[in-house]
Chains A and B, each alone.
Chain A
């Protein structure tokens, strides 16, 4: 929609960051072959033209109300997740490999969860040390023996991928509980389609807009036995409008044509779940819950809490309702389990992992521990039960005192710590409005994977959304892509050829 006859070659002045892989250009500064269309599009724009597009995009997001709400702000201040219009592009061939790798990984993790909450072969045979599971905060021993309706545990997964300087994609983290961010993927695409109409038409970019219907199908497929999926009632369960991801909950419910409910709308009678409606109670068969395990059922998880639906876990345990994702999944995306995922893939599938992960030192192992305490100045140390940057030592930047503190912590409770070398995340050209030019900024990628019930005895069938959420650390030199700390997002293009 915007054409700039003068074409000032936006990418020409772009300088990639030494020591990092750039997603769009190679070492010589030439566009990578699969990113040709995006590069041509950028080179057809002047800085002024690009800024116009960028402003148009931001305005459009505000108008559509694509926001995350600032927690408990009574005035309802809502922020827009910053978006950079320069897309991140994935080649078709690489993407095929990523898809296969993700399906492989999640299939193994789903089997691992069945096993942990089943007969625990992996623990008995030492694939995963028993204490790593038993001491995990997210492991719920009382769930052992329960088989979820529909036979799926990881219905929706978001797997965080990063790319190292050699160009190898690696799994950084699995999100198997309530991964969020997919609404930005869909909204970002809407915006790029509007702004870069021509490039999108000719570019052969794979579509993402069928995610809601794929998700609805996946949810319906796990309806309890004896319930016709076509007739089943599926609802989206949200903590409520003050949750920071409420927009996404509402967005997904709206685009799937499902009811958005809060815990107080649901009631359990006997072993069945009902939703209170103006026409009386109606039975619910599948719940896409965006609430944490702790707030599902006060009778089961938190007797002191009034939040949740009393009796819901009983209904789930009896197979009368499906919960997506299944309770107890947190044990499989625990940092303490992460180092063992490649072995789990080998154990369950007799295959080598297709996607690498970040080499990890497990402090519970004596040799690893020795290495870690001797190289604290080079490593990132993470406490397994913490998230969001807490309980973490960034070795290279840390003071001597901080390192000493962690040395003591690691030696006192080795099981609680893992360590990795810091990965120099790959970069992508990113618009810097103050300087009106493109500069390299670090990115990660969160693809989303859906699982549906397959035939009897078959593992769930999985579908990967082409692309996913590319998060970008907008601040110069930053590695933090989190939206609450100066992160933004980009549209992710997977080319069709």
Chain B
């Protein structure tokens, strides 16, 4: 597969998933702001923080604005200056898809193009004013449509594997950041070790102050699960009992849940292995080794998960995934420009050869025209 095309596929996957995660995060946070009796800044500030854009945001709107739901939502949805705004993600996905139209299916291109055309239409702007929940729902649905079409209409071959690898790596990063956003709350809850039925009338069992605290906590866990589309799945596994520890453990380690870190890492290992089988280890070996090590490492952490170690764990995951991303792009570029065997056949021709084989221009151009703003950096 052509390296440039593969790189576009990788970013189409990342952008689609990023648009979806962001819309999901905003939708759920809105609902949390209504349900949980918390100061709005405690609800909205983390949204900007996990996006890695806090510094930019504070500079533009001031620190206090991070507590204002509307300012945050506009910034995260429309702002062209925000690298990870939904607008930029949809634009990136659409431009990527357009550049590799002949590799994707027509259905995927059309769905992604329609998403973009709708999103930039006046109709969508109006809808944002009237029914914000609907906007987020539509973005999620349409990105999910594109992602679903990837699996159901593309040849299950390297282009799809690379696109899906982009989806998974983006998802790991997003899930880890969202969990990290609440890690300080987990700390308290796990110490209390309160098991609580969601439907239980809390006033009867516990004191008023503590009860309020728990309502807040419960709302947070529920929103966390919803943010990751894990509500129903979690409830089935845990029979309706919600605790911070269980929610976090579920999102970290549940091997049967397709958005948990463990599941995504493990799937990514499988994809990298398919894209670069053993005989191509010289090209795809680096991301494979790092992902496999991360998978093993996560497996071990399951047994010694301490509330105090969660932040470190998530930081490690985010850092490693960032490295996997850059190693993957390196591998996508095909590593060696010309195989050694070919070089051996060509008599050294001094100038001509050094000009042709290095391609410093090509390399520099490829880097400069990378189809994407850099992925969001690690928060904090």
Contact = CB atoms under 8 A, between A and B. Distances in A.
Contacts of B366: 264
Nearest to A241: B99
Question: For chain B, what secondary structure do more than half of its interface residues adopt (helix, strand, loop), or is it mixed?
Answer: helix
Q: How large is the interface on B (under 10, 10 to 19, 20 to 34, 35 or more residues)?
A: 35 or more
Q: How large is the interface on A (under 10, 10 to 19, 20 to 34, 35 or more residues)?
A: 35 or more
Given A259-B2, A278-B6, A269 B334 contact: no
Interface stretch (B16-24, B253-261, B304-312, B348-356): B348-356
Interface string B212-247: 000000000000000000000000000000000000
A305 to B, nearest CB: 11
Given A279-B280, A280-B336, A267 B356 contact: yes
Contacts of B338: 267, 269, 274, 281
Interface string A264-276: 1101111110111
Contacts of B99: 240-241
B185 to A, nearest CB: 42
Given A241-B98, A250-B101, A253-B102, A267 B362 contact: yes
Contact of A272 (B276, B342, B362): B342
Contact of A264 (B4, B109, B334): B4
Contacts of B109: 65
Nearest to B113: A65
Interface string B363-377: 001100000000000
A284 B375 CA distance: 34
A241, A253, A280 pick with most chain B CB within 10 angstroms: A280
Interface in A50-100: 63-65, 75-76
B356 to A, nearest CB: 5
B286 interface: no
B2 A279 contact: no
A262 B365 CA distance: 12
Contacts of B356: 267-270, 310-311
Given A269-B346, A270-B356, A310-B355, A278 B158 contact: yes
A431 B3 CA distance: 47
A241, A254, A270, A306 pick with most chain B CB within 10 angstroms: A270
B93 interface: no
A267 B1 contact: no
A269 B280 contact: no
Nearest to A273: B356
Given A63-B110, A76-B94, A76-B95, A278 B162 contact: yes
A26 B90 CA distance: 55
Interface in A145-166: none
A35 interface: no
B275 A270 contact: no
15 contacts: A65-B110, A250-B102, A254-B102, A264-B365, A265-B4, A267-B338, A267-B356, A267-B359, A270-B356, A272-B342, A279-B1, A279-B276, A281-B336, A310-B355, A310-B359
8 tightest A-B CB contacts, nearest first: A270-B346, A254-B102, A269-B338, A276-B3, A311-B356, A250-B102, A276-B334, A268-B356
